[in-house]
Amino acid sequence: MTLEDPFFVVKDEVCKALNKTRGLYQRWGELQQQEEGGVVVVATSREELDWTNTELRNALRSIEWDLEDLEETIGIVEKNPRKFKIDGGELSSRRTFIEHTKEEVKSMKERLNLTKKDRDVTARQVPDKDTPVDDSSPLKMPQVVTHGATRYSRLVNEADSPNSEFVERTMAQQQMIMSQQDEQLDQIASSMGTLKNMSRQIGQEVDEQAVMLDDFGHEMENTQSKMENTLSKVAKVMHLSSDRRQWAAIGALSGVLAVIVILFFVL
């Protein structure tokens, strides 16, 4: 009884998700460069940046879960090498694919986290209105702020503008939405863990049933062999009994023939 190698099924899903994530990452980088370059960002562009950021984080988490599944498939194959017929070179190639994908995902996540940290630091460095600032200080010149903080510095300098409150409310709503999405993702991760445990139990039961079927097959083979031996013996007995009847008939006919000959000569 053979089992289908589950590695390639999960690998195809990872490759598709990775290609989609690369497109999101490229678009996110373009929007981020526009913001860092001091380009005036309209509301639609800002919404697109936030949406792309959220989708990119979700995609990266999904890929990480799929990579965990791939590692589990390697463990399954290692436990059943005879059934899957996979050598050490193939296993090494699979581990290399997983490691390279992990490095790419890690690089994307570090870039996302770095940008988020820079924004938080810039927001904390905004001076009060009553605090004197030297003309040479970078806080006095928001157009020189680096690491994607240009937009946030510009919003601080325009605190007296009527649009600043709207922007702040919009940002707060976006942060709340992202927090809710993080909670939902945590719940999904918990559900995925439960499903993984169930799949492990099902896999163990399938292996046990496979062993039982193998034992049953051996018993059937032994029973069939015994039946064939018994039938062979019965055939031999039947053949012997038929031979005895033939000889008895020949003897009887010979006796009758002898009696007829004797009577013929006597009479």
CATH code, domain with 16:
1.20.58.90
Contact 179, 55 (CB under 8 A): no
Tell me: do 246 and 183 sit in the same domain.
Answer: no
Structural domain boundaries enclosing 159? 7-201
Least confident of 43-47, 120-124, 126-130, 244-248: 126-130
Tell me: do 175 and 248 sit in the same domain.
Answer: no
In a domain, 2, yes or no: no
In a domain, 215, yes or no: no
The whole-model pTM stands at: 0.44
| pLDDT over threshold 90, residue 100 | yes
Nearest to 211 by CA among 79, 91, 87: 79
Tell me: do 196 and 66 sit in the same domain.
Answer: yes
Tell me: do 25 and 84 sit in the same domain.
Answer: yes
Domain edge (last residue) among 186, 201, 216:
201
Domain edge (last residue) among 183, 201, 219:
201
Tell me: do 194 and 238 sit in the same domain.
Answer: no
Torsion angles phi and psi, residue 214, rounded to 5:
-60, -45
Mean pLDDT highest for which of 31-45, 143-157, 205-219, 248-262?
205-219
Residue type for position 8: F
Average pLDDT on 10-24 reads 89
Contact 133, 139 (CB under 8 A): yes
Nearest to 203 by CA among 94, 75, 88, 87: 75
How confident is residue 117, by pLDDT bands cut at 50, 70 and 90? Answer: low
Q: Determine the pLDDT at residue 134.
A: 46
In a domain, 143, yes or no: yes
Sequence-distant (≥ 6) Cβ neighbours of residue 71 within 8 angstroms: 98
Q: Determine the pLDDT at residue 84.
A: 75
Average pLDDT on 211-218 reads 85
Tell me: do 108 and 167 sit in the same domain.
Answer: yes
In a domain, 118, yes or no: yes
Angle at 108 (CA atoms; ends 189, 27), nearest 5 degrees: 105
Least confident of 26-30, 51-55, 76-80, 213-217: 76-80
Mean of the per-residue pLDDT values of the chain: 74
Tell me: do 139 and 257 sit in the same domain.
Answer: no
**Tokens in use for 238?**
């039947």
**Tokens in use for 206?**
């399938």
In a domain, 220, yes or no: no
How confident is residue 150, by pLDDT bands cut at 50, 70 and 90? Answer: very low
Tell me: do 185 and 126 sit in the same domain.
Answer: yes
Domain edge (last residue) among 201, 221, 255:
201
| pLDDT over threshold 80, residue 190 | no
Average pLDDT on 149-176 reads 57
Tell me: do 145 and 42 sit in the same domain.
Answer: yes
In a domain, 227, yes or no: no
The rounded distance, in Å, linking the Cα atoms of 49 and 28 is: 6
| pLDDT over threshold 50, residue 127 | no
| pLDDT over threshold 70, residue 252 | yes
Q: Helical H runs in the chain?
A: 7-36, 43-79, 81-84, 88-124, 150-157, 162-266
Number of domain units in the chain: 2
Angle at 77 (CA atoms; ends 75, 78), nearest 5 degrees: 65
In a domain, 44, yes or no: yes
Q: Determine the pLDDT at residue 138.
A: 39
Average pLDDT on 123-146 reads 44
Tell me: do 29 and 102 sit in the same domain.
Answer: yes
Tell me: do 128 and 248 sit in the same domain.
Answer: no
Tell me: do 161 and 251 sit in the same domain.
Answer: no
Least confident of 49-53, 61-65, 129-133, 213-217: 129-133
Angle at 262 (CA atoms; ends 257, 267), nearest 5 degrees: 125
Share of the chain above pLDDT 90, in %: 10
In a domain, 243, yes or no: yes
Mean pLDDT highest for which of 54-68, 128-142, 179-193, 212-226?
54-68
